[in-house]
Structure 1
Amino acid sequence: MQQDEFSYHFEVLDAVELAVIVLEVGDDGLPRYIAMNTKSREFTKLEHKDYAGKTALELYGGATGRRALNQHLAVISSGKEATYDIVLPTQHKEKYLSTTLRPVFNADGRLVYLVGSSSDITSERERDEALELTRMALDKAEEASQAKERFLANMSHEIRTPMNGIIGMCELLQETDLDEQQRLFADTILNSATALLGVINDVLDFSKIQADKISLHDAPFSLQDLVQDVGTLLWARAAYKGIDLRTDYPADAPHEFTGDASKIRQILMNLLGNAIKFTEDGHVAVSVSYDPGAAALPLRIQVSDTGIGIEPSQLKWIFSAFEQVDRRSARVIEGTGLGLAITQALVERMGGTITASSVPGQGSVFTVALDLKQPDHHLPRPTDDAAAVFRDHRQALNLQPSQPVPELPPGALAGKRILVAEDNRTNQLLVRKMLKSTGAELRFAENGRIALEAYKSEGCNLILMDLSMPVMGGLEAARRIRAHERSAGLPECPIVALTANAQPSDVEACLAAGMNDFLSKPFRKNELQARILRQGG
């Protein structure tokens, strides 16, 4: 821009919507303000007498003045237009301006003026800062959530490992000749350890619900079989208290549905387990009904009992986490207070509802309403090994195998070589004792690397693989074993994960690494033998 193109009628600039400033470059090379239009004066709250003949440093002082003057000098030095942001202090709050500064030359090519135009970007800047703060808060929340998950997973592993020794050794102790008092002590230890495992499972489930980590795995299943299985599992517990456990599945109700059978099993286990816990005489019943004409949620599963009931004023608290309503004498019953909170979360995750009613002294009724689709019977039911592993995983976590597994007869595994990758000495001893009578030849490895080398040099018929071991973990060892088999043209040796890592994601990781089965600690003797049999041991 040439000087003769530059108008000295500064009042024309007042018609411009942008804030405009004009600075004259003196003989000393310093730019000084000579004009600000109306919009600029609104921003700065300055009159002509306040700014005329002053540099930015003299006018604003401090960091703002130095930054503005440096930008002015940079344009003078380069002779080129520049755009920059600057913070303008005002009476109430800082104002952010985006400024474009252009040099103006005279006919001789000497830079004589600087003309700047500025727009207010305070709202945009505040929005961006708010978004950044939100992003940082979300990142910190996610980090905290992940840290909690890692902590819970680590604690679960660290607790399950010694519990495997406690429960396993107690079970072996029960197989020895004990007098009446010794058997009572052994039974008490086992029952207490099993109760502790239930607490751990509840805390892990609740943490996943809080982190919205609950996922559904829908597949066709028989609801009638599931209800009967749960009734069979809990029959002994009810019979021990002298309670009649009833199941009612009408013949005209559909049997086949599509949904997450393991979650529905968990819901029934929680509701029936609670009903048995708080009922001293009478009966506990589970009934199913289906109304095809219902506007919504046609499937109803109802669990009722003749227990001590719940006071009306306390019904609203029963689905709250860590709450145990005052059921009079039942206050002595231990528990986390998470079971019903978990149950409600699972039901709602499936799009259903759960309600409760009760008459103190007469009993309670819990009703689950769901809308499960009925499957196309032409679709195959899932029977693959992975599905079986997931089903058994849930049962193993609750120490409730679906069917009693007979103990292997003496010498049943004679001639079989089993490689056990396990760094915990107690668990090594436990496996050795559990399989002693089978006649299997056991080879122990303290970490995955030793197990890999042992398999390469000696071979075996089956591998029991822990996941968390020093030097090399079980997942990496399994991957390397599978790679060795492929390169050597060997058939796959069955690998069963035997681990305290008990999350569903651990099951997936094991299958992805090439393992064939999964058994979480603490495990029972019959469960271990069942896994070996299933893998052709």
Structure 2
Amino acid sequence: MGLVLTSIAILEEQLKQERAARISAEGALTRFRDVVKTEAEQKKHLSERILAAMMSAPDAMALFDENDLLVAANKAYLSANGDGENRIEIGMSRLDILKKAALTGLIDFNGKTAQDWFDETAPNWRSEDFGESTLQTTDGKWFRITTRKTKFGDSVTYRVDITAEKMRALELEQARKRADIASSAKSAFLANMSHEIRTPMNGVIGMAELLAETDLDEEQSLFANTIRNSGEALLTIINDILDYSKIEAGQMELFPEPFNLEEMVLDCVRLLQSKANDKHLDLLLDYDMFLPTGFVGDVGRIRQVLLNLISNAIKFTQTGFVLIRVVGVTANDTDYKIHIAVEDTGIGIPSAKQAQVFSEFKQVDHSENRKLEGTGLGLAISKKLVEKMGGVMWLDSEQDKGSVFGFKIGLKSQTDEYYRQPTAPKEIYNIMIVDDLEQNRTILKKQLGALNLHAYEYSNVDDAVAAFKNGTPCDMVITDHQMPEQTGEQLAIQIRELGFKGPIFMLSSDLRNLKMSSANAGCFTAILQRPSLRDELYKSLNCVFDASELGGQPMLVESSALCNLENLPVLLAEDNKTNQLVFRQMTKGLNLNLTVCGDGPDTVAQYQKIMPKIVFMDISMPGFDGDEATRQIRDIEKMNNMPPTPIIALTAHAMAGDRDRFISAGMDDYLAKPLKKKLVYEMLERFSPTLAPEQQL
């Protein structure tokens, strides 16, 4: 009995455990079902939220399946065509929707018919090709339509209203056009103002220059020079404003052409030599002995930058010198990095003020500066021009110790330039250099070193004479003209008296005002202008030994000299009476056979009548302008197989790009008004050698 009871108890316990296990399993299943139900409800709720968001979105959204059938869309998309027969419904194909959209009349077809627009647009509306496009409606709205593929093969289309964006772009475009119109109007105004101002300025400056060359007493000379200097200062301001306006408007262009760098730098020096002489400053040029001279670049803009730097150096230097140094480095046979530096012994610039010197309308606040004129634009314009040429401008200065302004630009050398190693006469080897300025002696010593000549340097006449007496070897003497204690003339007299028979060269920066005793002129073999081209010095060294004996007048070596132009037929086309008078007076000393015309038709007629050898052509003339007159003259030359006559444009506009325009019109070069006598002479000198020998009178 006990055994039975025990078995029953065991069975009851097992049943109890099984019941508990079943209850636990049922609980777990219930909880799992609750979790699944909760997740399903959450997913449904999320889907409903996403769908609600999609339906309430202001931008149209639609989902197409892999067959391009509409399976879902929000209200903004479905209501796009209204509620009529063209309404959009789920299940439609993309092309059906496009066709219905075309029939609503809501789309701006840009002049096309609905069918033409549909035929043109439909091929691009396939989901794989559509991508992104814009659409304009007849009520002036713009939409961007974008279609993207999903990883399930469906495609989602978005249509966004971009009307505000388009309006902003349109406003910006209209603002840009207005700015362009204003810029063009400003440029035209500046060009016209340039012409209107330069025309009378030509009379003011030209006549003042001519008046200053006449016999005047001290007071009259002061008045004439004041008029000329004031006119040139005003002209500088005009040029600065024109250039700055062009640069700011983005209309400054570069016109590369072959040019001689050494000659260009020397031209700048010679142009400003008189200003340096007036202040008793030495103006020096140190051109790298191993640097070629022929390069390709915008010589006009490089000259403009260099003239500005040299002019500033002279302006702010009261005593000492201004040195222009030109060096270059190259990585190959044609590409050079040219460094041009202008060093002076002037007032210098404090370090705290150096950052502002290249800013517009800025000058360093210095008591010396306030005495001097200027717009404060020169360095700003120069810096922008250098940067436009791909270069950089720099400054190194210390207050009261001078400044060095420099710039670096890349230039290509002329491939056809041939370098000829200079040689010296066999009769000379030891040369005595006498100059109080160390920089002058250094430059001259380098130039002579290229000829393998040996130089002895002396800073004054007494030391040079003492060395000669002590037997220092000397085959030749090169001396400066003006030195503090004794002059080069006094040196020549003394060593000639000591029995020296070799050549003596004297260097002077102002040959035209050179005052020397005629009785002592025979002491010199040659007188050279300083600075000069290296080749001029080398040629002079070789030329002196062609003379059989010393004595008489020394050889005068200038940079160049006008050939005989007496009776040379020259035609001047100029309608302004004052400008005609200025040109006549400037060329009076040359005794040209000058014919003057006042309009375009008369210019062409006179050309055919007198057949001039050089034409100076005003651009703005009545009848027709200088461009048209030039074209007609060139046509006449072609018809008669005549060589082209040099034609020099005369213009009061002087805007950037003018030279290129004049060359394209058939002219050879141009001069900007107001005319300078020196530049007129240079044009005559430049183009008269191109004439045939029988034409050069």
Output the TM-score relative to the length of structure 1.
0.68
Deviation at 1:475, TM superposition (A): 0.8
Distance 1:297 1:418 in 2: 41
Counterpart of 2:214 in structure 1 is: 176
Distance 1:319 1:372 in 2: 24
Task: Name whichever of 368-377 and 185-194 sits farther off.
Answer: 368-377
Map 1:243-282 to 2 at 5 A: 243-251=281-289, 258-282=296-320
Residue identity opposite 2:388 in structure 1 = R
Residue identity opposite 2:200 in structure 1 = P
Distance 1:531 1:507 in 2: 15
Question: Is the partner of 2:368 in helix, strand or coil?
Answer: helix
Counterpart of 2:398 in structure 1 is: 359
Distance 1:488 1:275, change over 3 A: closer
Residue identity opposite 2:78 in structure 1 = V
Distance 1:165 1:97, change over 3 A: closer
Counterpart of 1:54 in structure 2 is: none
* Structure 2: gaps (5+ residues): 1-68, 91-102, 108-112, 119-134, 146-156, 420-532, 534-557
Structure 1 residue corresponding to 2:624, chosen from 472, 478, 484: 472
Distance 2:288 2:602 in 1: 57
Counterpart of 1:55 in structure 2 is: none
Question: Is the partner of 2:78 in helix, strand or coil?
Answer: strand
Report whether the alignment pairs 1:413 with 2:452.
no
Map 1:280-295 to 2 at 5 A: 280-290=318-328
Map 1:296-315 to 2 at 5 A: 299-315=338-354
Residue identity opposite 1:428 in structure 2 = Q
The 8 Å contact of residues 13 and 20 in structure 1, kept in 2 or not, is answered as: no
* Structure 1: gaps (5+ residues): 1-11, 25-30, 39-67, 73-77, 99-117, 381-401
Distance 1:297 1:357, change over 3 A: farther
Counterpart of 1:327 in structure 2 is: 366
Map 1:435-454 to 2 at 5 A: 435-454=587-606
Map 1:37-436 to 2 at 5 A: 86=137, 120-123=159-162, 125-218=163-256, 223-251=261-289, 258-290=296-328, 299-373=338-412, 376=415, 412-414=565-567, 416-436=568-588
The 8 Å contact of residues 248 and 287 in structure 1, kept in 2 or not, is answered as: yes
The 8 Å contact of residues 81 and 88 in structure 2, kept in 1 or not, is answered as: no
Residue identity opposite 1:281 in structure 2 = T
Distance 1:516 1:82 in 2: 57
Distance 1:23 1:522 in 2: 72
The 8 Å contact of residues 285 and 323 in structure 2, kept in 1 or not, is answered as: yes
Residue identity opposite 1:452 in structure 2 = V
Question: Is the partner of 1:15 in helix, strand or coil?
Answer: strand
Task: Name whichever of 146-155 and 226-235 sits farther off.
Answer: 226-235
CA RMSD of aligned residues (A): 4.3
Distance 1:491 1:337, change over 3 A: same
The 8 Å contact of residues 467 and 501 in structure 1, kept in 2 or not, is answered as: no
Distance 1:231 1:526 in 2: 14
The 8 Å contact of residues 344 and 353 in structure 1, kept in 2 or not, is answered as: yes
Number of residue pairs matched by the alignment? 440
Give a deviation string over 1:297-324, Cα, whole Å, max 9, x none: 9654333322222222221111011111
Report whether the alignment pairs 1:519 with 2:663.
no
Deviation at 1:292, TM superposition (A): 6.3
Residue identity opposite 1:369 in structure 2 = K
Distance 1:423 1:326, change over 3 A: same
Counterpart of 1:59 in structure 2 is: none
Distance 1:22 1:264 in 2: 64
The 8 Å contact of residues 170 and 189 in structure 1, kept in 2 or not, is answered as: yes
Question: Is the partner of 1:362 in helix, strand or coil?
Answer: coil
Give a deviation string over 1:383-435, Cα, whole Å, max 9, x none: xxxxxxxxxxxxxxxxxxx98775787xx533x54443221111122233334
The 8 Å contact of residues 255 and 660 in structure 2, kept in 1 or not, is answered as: no
Q: Give the number of the structure whose alpha-carbon radius of gyration is greater.
A: 2
Structure 2 residue corresponding to 1:20, chosen from 75, 78, 84: 78
Question: Is the partner of 1:337 in helix, strand or coil?
Answer: coil
Question: Is the partner of 2:654 in helix, strand or coil?
Answer: coil
The 8 Å contact of residues 650 and 671 in structure 2, kept in 1 or not, is answered as: yes
Distance 1:178 1:473 in 2: 39
Task: Name whichever of 194-203 and 466-475 sits farther off.
Answer: 194-203
Residue identity opposite 2:342 in structure 1 = V
Question: Is the partner of 1:328 in helix, strand or coil?
Answer: coil
Distance 1:22 1:231 in 2: 77
Deviation at 1:224, TM superposition (A): 4.6
Higher relative contact order (Cα pairs below 8 Å, separated by 6+ residues): 1
Deviation at 1:334, TM superposition (A): 0.4
Distance 1:23 1:339 in 2: 65
> Identity over the aligned pairs, expressed in percent?
39
The 8 Å contact of residues 569 and 610 in structure 2, kept in 1 or not, is answered as: no
Give a deviation string over 1:49-85, Cα, whole Å, max 9, x none: xxxxxxxxxxxxxxxxxxx99879xxxxx99999895
The 8 Å contact of residues 303 and 366 in structure 1, kept in 2 or not, is answered as: yes
Distance 1:232 1:465 in 2: 26
Deviation at 1:277, TM superposition (A): 1.0
Report whether the alignment pairs 1:502 with 2:502.
no
Distance 1:425 1:169 in 2: 13
Distance 1:442 1:333, change over 3 A: same
Distance 1:413 1:227, change over 3 A: closer
Deviation at 1:228, TM superposition (A): 4.4
Deviation at 1:377, TM superposition (A): 5.5
Distance 2:346 2:160 in 1: 68
The 8 Å contact of residues 22 and 33 in structure 1, kept in 2 or not, is answered as: no
Deviation at 1:199, TM superposition (A): 2.0
The 8 Å contact of residues 14 and 37 in structure 1, kept in 2 or not, is answered as: no
Residue identity opposite 1:283 in structure 2 = F
Distance 2:563 2:415 in 1: 40
Deviation at 1:490, TM superposition (A): 5.4
Residue identity opposite 1:427 in structure 2 = N
Give a deviation string over 1:224-279, Cα, whole Å, max 9, x none: 55444444443432232233333334545666655444433332222222122112
Question: Is the partner of 1:19 in helix, strand or coil?
Answer: helix
Distance 1:146 1:236, change over 3 A: same
Residue identity opposite 1:511 in structure 2 = I
Deviation at 1:502, TM superposition (A): 1.9
Distance 1:505 1:237, change over 3 A: same
Task: Name whichever of 227-236 and 187-196 sits farther off.
Answer: 227-236
